Structures are given as C-alpha cells and as structure tokens.
Structure 1
C-alpha cells in the first residue's frame, strides 16, 4: 500500500501564503490553505512595494508580467528636509532598475493578492471562513482544527497568518512557553511599537505624475507620496509619544485617522501642492500602529511560521512583502532537497523538526539584516536623533551615489528559487552587489554606516567631497 502524499497546511491566504502555494504547485507538493476571512481579496487601503529581490522570485513563478502591466516604476525621489528651503533629488529608483532589471513599484495590496489568487490553478485548495482554533502534532502528522469543527491533516503546518498569528501562538503553547500580554515571555523584548502610520489611496490627483515619488522628512514624522496609474499611494509615518508593547499599542478609529489627516492638510508636499490636494481625493485610508519585531524561534516540530508572523517591520524600506517572499523561497528550496532525499519514504517528526530548525537558523540572519535596516531607515526619515539628522542633511544629499552600495547589496543578496530558471539574470548588479555571507550581523554594518557617514561630513567640511576615495568606497 502506497504512502499518502506529503501535504502542507498553510494558515493564511496572504501574499506569503499564496506565494508559498505557487511554489508548492511548481514542486508538485500537496497543500491546503485555510483563511479565516470570508474573501481572499478585501479593500483595506493598503499598498505594497515590490522590490527587485521579491520581483525576480515572482518572475520565476510566472507572476511578474501581470504586476508589471498594472504598475508604474518609480523614477526619481524628491526628498525634503524640515528646513523648507532644503531639498535634494535622488536617482536611486532609476539606478535600481538599471542595475537589476526590475524597478521599485507599488500597487494596491488587493491587486497583488488578485494576481496571486488568479494564478492558482486549483482554487478548491483554498478554504475561506476557516479560523483556526488549535493545532496538534505527533509522530504521525499534524492536525489543524477550525472554528466550524473541521479538522485538516498534513505533515507540516505553515503559519502565514500575519502579525496576530494564531499559528504562532499555538506553536508557543505546544512549546510550553509562558505567554504574557500576547507574546511569549522569551520573545517579549523582540517586539515593540514606536511609530504609527496612516496609509491611503487617492484617485485623480493631477498635480502628481505617475512614477513620481516625494519623501517629506519632518521632525518626528515622514510623508511618502507615490504616483502610479490613475492613483496616488501615500503614507504618514509618525513617532509615538513612547515605546509601546504589543498588548498596549494604540488602536485608531476611522474618525481619529480622518482627524489626524485633516490636521495636516496644509502640509506642503511640493511647490504649489499641499496634502489637502491628496486628502480631498482619498478613496480609502486607515491608521495602524507599526509593530517592529524579529522573533528568534520560528518553528517547533511540524509547525513553522514565516512572514509578518515572525518578522514585522515599518513601511519605510518597502521590504516587508519582499522579505516574506524570501522566506517562502528559502523554505521551498530546503523542502525540495529534503523531499528528493527522502524519495518515497515518509519523513519522521524528528526529521521535519530538524529541517524547520535549520531553515530558522539559516534564514534568520538575512531577515535580521532587513529588519534592522528598516528600523534605521525609519528613524533617519523621521529625524530621530542627531546622527540621523546629520545623515539626511549632510551625507545623503552629497554622497548619496557613493552610499547606494549598501541598499543595492541588500537587494542583490536575496535568495532565488533553485528549481526554476531566472528570467533577468543577465543584469550585472546581481553579482556585483551581492554581499558575501559574514559572521558580522546587521548591527555591525549599521554602526559602520553611521561612522562613515560622520566621516563623510568631515570630508565635506574639509573639501574632500569630490575625492575619488568615495567612489572607491562603494561598500555601504
């Protein structure tokens, strides 16, 4: 009698969960998706950035063409500092496209979900209104119980259910971890909330052009505006009055979000354009606390959590969805090799536990680098602290081209699916900027970045600004 097919239960029909489904389809691995909501695609007012490191993986899966047709690449970024008379223009988005063959582009989150959902051939594998109540596992397999009394069985459970992940909390329960105020005691220092964000979408704003990006840095807040096809995506990220924990983070009503925006309608976006021009054309908006987290333990036994459930970042770097896509990529690469080695033999509990622990250990440093870079970027944009103010006023405007190697390296160092061909591999930036693995973590490189930034200020003061030395130091 043949063994039952190896099967994965995905909790969450998110960008993460649907990307995983596409990868499993390519691998020929059985799966079921459980989604607690009544629909896959809902209008929530959110947009999502797809960077080259996420875009090339979507391209491997045959999904990028639809995304590309629906979006407009960002071209130049006009950045304004609190000093109203000081601004500079960065060609970073344009350079990203020339370097990697993929642009920086935004679209509505629901639009990306539609692309991912439409690409699933067998939609009977997706089950809606399936809120998870509890998970159990043993030597024979895993079972996921849902609110309607159904039980779904598989070999691995993957939590792709976001920041408030039920899968993660079930994993903590099975580990015997004490949970205090919604977070495992051992992870309590690994999540905090220091910023909020109003995000919205406006239609028909003639003052802003497709591909135009404006970054307005203020003392304690940042306004982002991105023009696309017939719409404008915008965010207002604001530093909170103190650092909150998960359980006591502020929650905002629609009325509070509207009042927040009304109070800022006179804020200048660019010459002749105020925030009111965007706000009065708003189609949808929302206001949320921005959790920042990097949990250390992602798996236990047959259960593993990925995406926002284990690493959540602010929106400033635009890498949240891309980092989740990378999680899927690394997990599926390991899974492919693992199943090829097992052939027809059913993997044991211990073997699966070892596989998922290895995934956690090997991918955590990459996720840590992205989360920490996002954390720094958010504070630089909001002018939090003297070093951040020095960086934006004296370093980036004059030495930005020489300091682009670090963010380009962050993109170039992302993983790819090792079982599917690359579509745009000929672009030189992927190899040129790829960062070799190092024992030095993100903290080391961020410290180095700040140190060299201060050195750059000294260079400006002493007239070294045009020295070839900066061109040679393209390491940041």
Structure 2
C-alpha cells in the first residue's frame, strides 16, 4: 500500500495486541475482509509482562482453534494462599480446580509475548498484517472511514476497530467527535503502580500454586505457572493521582525501594519474597491507568480492549474482556454481512448500518466491562487494605469458597461472550451444556 491506496476493507484494525490479533483471526475465519496496522516493528515483543487467561477467555480461544497451544502452559491448579504482611494465613482455597471441573477451563498464567505469538501464528494470511504502521488520524466521510498512517499510507474501511491500547488514537478521535464529558472513570488516571515480574523456579513453590500478600502501601500477587516459572505483581498505592496526560516513568531505584518493603514478607511456609525477586529474569514498573471510555463508538469508529476498558491486573480480566469485546463485535457484524451476499446488494456498509451495528456493540458491552472494571479495582484496593471495603474483603476471604460465592463466579464466567453459530472448538465446548447454562453448573456444586 502506497501513499494513496484505494483498497477498501470491511474492518480496519488499529493495534496488534491481544484484542487486535484475536479480532483479526475471528474476521479471517468468518471470511470478512480486514487489514491490521500495528505501530511497532514486531507483533510479539518481549516486554516481561504476563497474562492470566480465565475460563471466559479460554473458551473463545478454544473456538478459534488454539486451545491445544495454550494448554501446553496449563498446569493442575493448586492451593491459593492469602496472607497478611505478618505472614498470617487467612485462608487457602482452590477456585481454579472448580472452574476446570464445572466449566472445562481453569486458568492459565503465561508470558504475554507467547500469547501474542500464538495469536499471530494462527493467522493464515499474514499479508493482512502490517507492522510499523503508526496511525495518526482518521478521516470519516459518508461512505467510509479512512485511517492515515504516519508514513502517509491510507486505508478505507467500513468500520475502524481501535485496539491500540490505553493511549488509543482511535479513542482520542471518538472523544473529539463526541465532545464527551470526562467523569472519574473515563479519565484513565493512575492511582496505583505495579512492578510486573517473571522469575525462574524457586524451591518450595510448585506449579499451579498462587499467593496473595495483603498489606498497605505494597501488596504481592504471585502465580506459579508451567515449568515452575513465577509471574508476580508488586502493586504500590501511590497515594496520589498521576493524570493520564502525564506519562511518568519509573526507574530501577523505584523498583528497589518497593522491594525493600516486602523483601522479607512470607509468601508461603519456608519462602520469602526475596527468594522470588532475586531469581527474577524480568521486572518492569509502570503506572496502572484505569478507565472506561465515556463513548465506545462514534460514526464508523469503535474501541475495544485497553482502548475502551483499562483495568488493574488483580482480577485477571483485561485480556479476557478484550477477547469478549472482539467476540461481541463479530457476533453483531456477521448477520449484517450475510444480508449483503446478493449481487444487487451494496457491498459497502452505509453509515446507518454501521451506526446500528456499533450502537448494539456499545449496549452489549458497557455493563459487562463496567462490572469487571469495578471488581478489579475493588480487589486491588483490598490487596492494599485500603478503606472499609478493603477490610470487609479481607474479613470475608474465608467465605470465598462457599457454594454461593462460587456460584456467582461461575455465573459471571458463563455470561461471557461466545462466538455464535460457530463450528470450531474442542470437546470442552460441550462441558456444562456449552458453558452457557450457568444454572446447570451451579446445581452440581
């Protein structure tokens, strides 16, 4: 594509992260034309970050034919210990084992780079994927939306999917067009920071085990995955707000200062955090922007993933809700596209058709992602023992494995998006009546 291409696709995807690549694969399998433009030079960079894939996300990946690749990183879930900063064990439980039994999927923790690699490799026609294409603007007309790259390339689209992260160019274009009034949840400010770490195996921590250390100022969240690799989060209460417009960078010195506060904290019997930190192979500190966009759509533009709903990592819902949003859009788009198969029909989507699709997308996703966003925020505050809600969470921890509590989690996963009228998927898709009959799952507790 040169500086004046007149190529026109149904969907132009901006951003090649989890949301963008998953959407690309869904469109490819659906026979829907698209191009994906990624700003960076590679699609699966090594960033030192990890991802938690939960039953709602794994089910979608199963439908895309990738479950075997992800199951290579699956381990039998063990006990999850919850301790305070003095090493006192509040409770220990194993929700992952119940999820696996009732839903056919538990939870997988793995490097984000490998998740991206699997998604990228799944796409058969790589000519649809373009790196080093940094989008700088979008021009909307009555007939199409034209995305414009920094190198002058242009692409006409019926729909533009903004999967370009928390600093989304597409969300910025939507905000400009809608003149949205920003409330607290749509500011994408940061009140917490996090050190994302990956460590080599440590004696005393077996694959499948999980740990949370609840304490003010700096909390710990730790998962032991495939081959004993340890994925950990050192979360810091900033006690101030970093405005979204201010991009604050953190140094190794900042990481060491936080580490000093938790180095001697007990993770499990016989293991302190120093054993994990000193065995690290990656550690990166970043501000945790949080937000839900006031507007997910405008004209032919829509946002998904972190562009639309950026969450703190404590509920492991960011990537999973990104997968759900991509699924919701494809479910809405496919029936509209099937009406355009006759020779006499207009192959392009009219403005009114696009707006009808995207209005439905917004209505379908907003309540669901808001629920996940607020649950993640509550869990983060609980880990940091902030306020009465945090204390209540700590007090109620022993009740987390009661039938009522587990049924709520199963019901929430079961309400997740699933690709409709879809033939691909493993035998897990049949578990619990296709995963969607939450009441049947709950009745078996």
TM norm structure 1: 0.85
What corresponds to 2:182 in structure 1? 186
Give the Cα separation in 1 of the matches to 2:429 and 2:129. 33
Aligned partners of 1:190 and 1:293 also within 8 Å: yes
What corresponds to 1:400 in structure 2? 401
What corresponds to 1:361 in structure 2? 363
Moved over 6 A (4+): none
Give 1:6 deviation, angstroms. 4.7
| Aligned residue pairs, count | 428
**Measured at CA, do residues 139 and 216 of structure 1 come closer, stay the same or move farther in structure 2, by a change above 3 Å?**
same
Of 293, 299, 302, 1:301 maps to 299
**Measured at CA, do residues 93 and 330 of structure 1 come closer, stay the same or move farther in structure 2, by a change above 3 Å?**
same
Give 1:263 deviation, angstroms. 4.5
- More deviation in 108-117 or 382-391? 382-391
Gaps of 5+ in 2: 1-6
Give 1:174 deviation, angstroms. 3.5
Give the Cα separation in 2 of the matches to 1:205 and 1:167. 43
Give the Cα separation in 1 of the matches to 2:261 and 2:216. 16
Aligned partners of 2:190 and 2:241 also within 8 Å: yes
Aligned partners of 1:300 and 1:357 also within 8 Å: no
- More deviation in 356-365 or 76-85? 76-85
- More deviation in 210-219 or 308-317? 210-219
Aligned partners of 1:44 and 1:285 also within 8 Å: no
Aligned partners of 1:194 and 1:244 also within 8 Å: yes
- Match of 2:182, SS? helix
Give the Cα separation in 2 of the matches to 1:266 and 1:284. 20
What corresponds to 1:276 in structure 2? 274
What corresponds to 1:145 in structure 2? 148
Aligned partners of 2:216 and 2:386 also within 8 Å: yes
What corresponds to 2:429 in structure 1? 425
Give 1:245 deviation, angstroms. 3.0
The structure whose RCO (Cα within 8 Å, separation 6+) is larger is: 2
Gaps of 5+ in 1: 178-183, 436-470
Give the Cα separation in 2 of the matches to 1:324 and 1:138. 28
Corresponding position: 1:226 with 2:214? no
Q: Deviation per CA, 1:152-201, whole angstroms, max 9, x where unpaired?
A: 222111100010101111222334x2xxxxxx543565233221111110
Of 336, 339, 356, 1:338 maps to 336
Aligned partners of 1:76 and 1:94 also within 8 Å: no
Q: Deviation per CA, 1:176-233, whole angstroms, max 9, x where unpaired?
A: x2xxxxxx54356523322111111011323311111111111344211111223111
- Match of 2:281, SS? strand
Of 31, 40, 64, 1:37 maps to 40
Aligned partners of 1:293 and 1:312 also within 8 Å: yes
Give the Cα separation in 2 of the matches to 1:255 and 1:131. 32
Aligned partners of 1:72 and 1:106 also within 8 Å: no
Give the Cα separation in 2 of the matches to 1:323 and 1:353. 22
What corresponds to 1:80 in structure 2? 83
Aligned partners of 2:87 and 2:266 also within 8 Å: no
Q: Deviation per CA, 1:67-117, whole angstroms, max 9, x where unpaired?
A: 111332432201112453333211211111111111111010000000000
Give 1:151 deviation, angstroms. 1.2
- Match of 2:109, SS? strand
Aligned partners of 2:56 and 2:320 also within 8 Å: yes
Corresponding position: 1:89 with 2:92? yes
Aligned partners of 1:78 and 1:90 also within 8 Å: yes
Of 324, 349, 352, 2:351 maps to 349
- Match of 1:44, SS? coil
- Which structure 2 residues correspond to residues 429-468 of structure 1 after superposition, within 5 A? 430-433=435-438
What corresponds to 2:159 in structure 1? 156
- Match of 1:404, SS? helix
- Match of 1:70, SS? coil
Give the Cα separation in 2 of the matches to 1:69 and 1:418. 26
TM norm structure 2: 0.90
Give the Cα separation in 2 of the matches to 1:383 and 1:6. 49
Give the Cα separation in 1 of the matches to 2:256 and 2:48. 13
What corresponds to 1:198 in structure 2? 195
- Which structure 2 residues correspond to residues 171-182 of structure 1 after superposition, within 5 A? 171-175=174-178, 177=179
Give the Cα separation in 2 of the matches to 1:302 and 1:426. 36
**Measured at CA, do residues 88 and 341 of structure 1 come closer, stay the same or move farther in structure 2, by a change above 3 Å?**
same
What corresponds to 2:210 in structure 1? 213
Of 381, 384, 392, 2:383 maps to 381
Give the Cα separation in 2 of the matches to 1:96 and 1:76. 13
Aligned partners of 1:77 and 1:93 also within 8 Å: no
**Measured at CA, do residues 85 and 302 of structure 1 come closer, stay the same or move farther in structure 2, by a change above 3 Å?**
closer
What corresponds to 2:4 in structure 1? none
